[in-house]
Amino acid sequence: MIVELSDRPRISGNHNQNARKEAFHRFIGQPVSIFCSSRTDAGVHALSNVCHVDVERISKRKPGEVLTPHEPGVVKRAVNHFLLKNEGDIMVTDVRCVAPDFHARYKALERTYHYRLLSGPESTSVFETNSAWHISEDLDIQAMKKACSILVGHHDFSSFRAAGCQANSPMRTLDELSVTEVFPFMFFPSSVERSQLESSNGSLVYSRTPDIESSGKGSDLCCTSSVKSELENGEDFGKRSRHRCFVVTARARSFLYHQVRLMVGLLKSVGTGDLTTADVERILDAKTVTAAPRMAPAYGLYLANVKYDLNA
């Protein structure tokens, strides 16, 4: 069977890995081996990771008698029950029965990762702890997009291959590398925004300021006269300014060890102006990881999706 998991890792150790093994062990009544689609570093999140488990349903009353497998829904509810009792930051979101030769890692056709960056001079909210990389400088999204276009395609990614990589070849085909600005995860409307919502039937749409359109930098939200009035009256006391939130998306059949985090580190340097698009080409052509800038931390990375052909 294959199991789709969603987890938020604790930065230290392999708590979630042990939690899922223990949950399956308690449900099935025997030790199991779990094979995951992707090996993620400590601190990396999984919006959707896929594992496969080879199990037989053995009768407890007649040891040795093999019974009809449990329905996928039964497996999902039971394993989540034991995961909850084990206090793991993980849950099962889907279960399917597959052919005996299925392998979660080697049968994967495509993997998609997201990386979250928060840009702004203020420190981030405690609710964003270990969920995004905070960059105090402004990020030029247009320059970052140009850098993405250079890296997309079939290349020797040796400059984005960390020591310890076990891949036989540094050649990879990067199907997508993009950067998108989105609303911050913890978004709550202010009094002015709530008034706008009431007057627009619940639809709140912000217009960009001219300096964002031209350069990719600047304030995310227009400062309306109502907001200015709040500021002048001191009603902004205790309020935090919002960070700009950027999501880098990388999609490919497979990645080298730390490839996504190294590419995000490069895009961040381009966004802050420390590197140019010409530097991106130079670093790619250097074919050595020593040419790459600082690697992005693990906690901003999310495994978003793993694609299979389950009918093959």
Burial environment of residue 108 by CB neighbours within 10 A (0 to 12, 13 to 18, 19 or more): middle
Q: Are 96 and 24 in contact (CB under 8 A)?
A: no
The active-site residue out of 41, 89, 94, 156 is 41
Flag whether 113 is marked binding.
yes
Distances (CA, A) of 79 to 59, 147, 170, 207, 219: 18, 43, 38, 46, 46
Per-residue exposure over 241-264, b if at least 16 CB sit within 10 Å of its own CB, e if not: ebbbbbbbbbbbeebbbbbbbbbb
Burial environment of residue 157 by CB neighbours within 10 A (0 to 12, 13 to 18, 19 or more): buried
Q: Which of 5, 98, 105 is nearest to 311 (CA)?
A: 98
Contacts made by residues 31-37, CB under 8 angstroms, sequence distance 24+: 35/103, 35/104, 35/105, 36/104, 36/105, 37/104, 37/105, 37/108, 37/111, 37/306
Please confirm, yes or no, whether 41 is among the known catalytic residues: yes
74: Cβ contacts below 8 Å, ≥ 6 apart: none
Binding-site annotation: residue ranges for substrate: 113
List residues forming the annotated binding site: 113
| Residues marked as catalytic | 41
